[in-house]
Amino acid sequence: MIIDVTYGEDWDAASRTVLGPMSRQRASDRDATGEPYAVVLREEGRPQPVAVLHIAWAHGYFGVWAYDERGRRTREFDLRRLEPERLFLRHVARWRYDTEDMPEFAEQAGRIRVDLYPDGRGRKVSEPQGSGGGSLHTLADMPEEQRWVPAPEFGAWEWTVALVTDGQFPDALREAPETNPTPLATANWQPPSPLRPRHVDEMFAPGTRFSPPYEGDAGPYAVERIIDAGVLRLPTGQVIACDPHWVTPGKPFTVAVRPGDYSTQIATASYASEYEGTPLHMEDYTAARVLISEKPTVEWELALRPDEDPRTLRDGEFYGFGVDSGTGCFVDAAAAPRLIGRGNTLARDADPDGILVLQDPESDGNLIAYPSGMGDGTYPVWIGRDAEGEVTCLVADMLILSHQELLSD
């Protein structure tokens, strides 16, 4: 098996061409600087590629797509450079096309998705009949040694061919002739982008309008109330966000704040709707904020707990705190063991807005609980920083307004 190697910005499956072809030297330069580029591997005499690689070392990303003879993608391998000399297999997906004319990623195509994590965890989702049939969710039983592969040197693509052909190494690699060495102005693909914060400041600006929650008779969202939830007392400055009904609170965020007392606010947004001709005023809890300083926030980052590595996140993914009771909270790590899990107290003593403050005399800390947006789910916490890099606030985003679009006045 002879494999022709072409470098470029991307591969266009429709036209079966390399977009923005580039020389080996230019691709090597991009590899060294971490800029994104693509590698197309085609078997001699076959118009469709055996595999297409998307590489962006600045993001620690090495992606592999396998193609069948009809140009349909059949496998995806998402590898991350978590260590200098090794790649971690973060995600594997396979599609099965039972007929020659079945479109790529057809709903009825059987599929398997496996997600792996460096701490040994993993999950597997099997859908033998595609998205229209049932699914089986299990733990991913993959040995540790199969989760890692050596990081390849530029041009050493033999192992990638073996990866997508079930162990068949090529007899030789050869550089395909250049047809147009001029690159495009920008890459046609981008490495995976985890969830980024949107409209965080606007969520706390009363009157700010957003697109409606759904099509039909719903009016636009408008920030309605900024509720004063009281003072969050943080004797250690180690903050935990969690469901206050859980048995254990989990670990605090890796970024701590100065010990102290901080104002906490809960934001809501409302919209007009109707049901069977009756006008309705709907109000949702959209975010909770702990104000650490009055300085302007100039950048945001995702709050992480120990062992949460942002380099493993795929498109739109995030690390967040889980909610099973429709309630979230902020609490200091010193107070959490004595305040988390008091479900009856939370249900009985919350104020009309659903907010409850619990005190812990032993640590001098407290807990502030609030309704968690649309209910159960997983929600990110964003850490704001000022121009000097100091923490300005922590925001629990209920992922309601962040998915909407701002409306002009």
- pLDDT, residue 216, reads 78
Q: Cα(300)–Cα(198) distance, rounded to whole angstroms?
A: 10
DSSP-assigned letters across all residues of 115-173: EE-TTS-EEEEEETTGGGS--EEEE----GGGSEEEPPPTT--HHHHHHHTTS---SEE
**CA proximity to 237, closest of 217, 215, 211, 257:** 257
What is the pLDDT confidence band of residue 345, given thresholds at 50, 70 and 90?
low
Amino acid in position 235: P
> Is residue 344 pLDDT above 80, yes or no?
no
> Is residue 343 pLDDT above 80, yes or no?
no
Average the pLDDT over 296-305 and give the result: 97
Average the pLDDT over 307-311 and give the result: 93
- Maximum distance among all alpha carbons in the chain? 77
> Is residue 374 pLDDT above 90, yes or no?
no
| In contact, 225 and 359? CB cutoff 8 Å | no
Average the pLDDT over 161-189 and give the result: 74
What is the pLDDT confidence band of residue 303, given thresholds at 50, 70 and 90?
very high
Tens of pLDDT, residues 132-160: 889 999 999 889 989 999 999 999 999 99
Q: Cα(56)–Cα(36) distance, rounded to whole angstroms?
A: 4
Structure tokens at 15: 């036209």
Tens of pLDDT, residues 202-242: 999 999 999 998 887 888 999 999 999 999 999 999 999 99
Tens of pLDDT, residues 319-341: 999 999 999 999 999 999 999 98
Tens of pLDDT, residues 23-80: 999 999 999 999 999 999 999 888 899 999 999 999 999 999 999 999 999 999 999 9
Tell me how far CA of residue 79 lies from CA of 57, 88, 149, 197, 382, in angstroms.
Answer: 11, 5, 9, 25, 26
What is the pLDDT confidence band of residue 384, given thresholds at 50, 70 and 90?
very high
In 3-state terms the chain splits into helix, strand, coil percentages (rounded to 5) of 10, 40, 45
- pLDDT, residue 15, reads 82
Least confident piece of the model among 4-18, 93-107, 192-206, 332-346:
332-346
Q: Cα(36)–Cα(55) distance, rounded to whole angstroms?
A: 6
- pLDDT, residue 215, reads 83
Count other C-beta atoms under 10 Å from residue 295's C-beta: 15
Determine how β-strand 278-291 pairs with β-strand 391-397: antiparallel
> Is residue 185 pLDDT above 60, yes or no?
no
Q: Cα(5)–Cα(40) distance, rounded to whole angstroms?
A: 6
Tens of pLDDT, residues 94-118: 999 999 999 999 999 999 999 999 9
- pLDDT, residue 217, reads 82
Q: What is the CA radius of gyration of the chain?
A: 25
Tens of pLDDT, residues 72-99: 999 999 999 999 999 999 999 999 999 9
Tell me how far CA of residue 279 lies from CA of 116, 158, 215, 382, in angstroms.
Answer: 48, 65, 16, 35
Tens of pLDDT, residues 240-290: 999 999 888 889 999 999 999 999 999 999 999 888 888 889 999 999 999
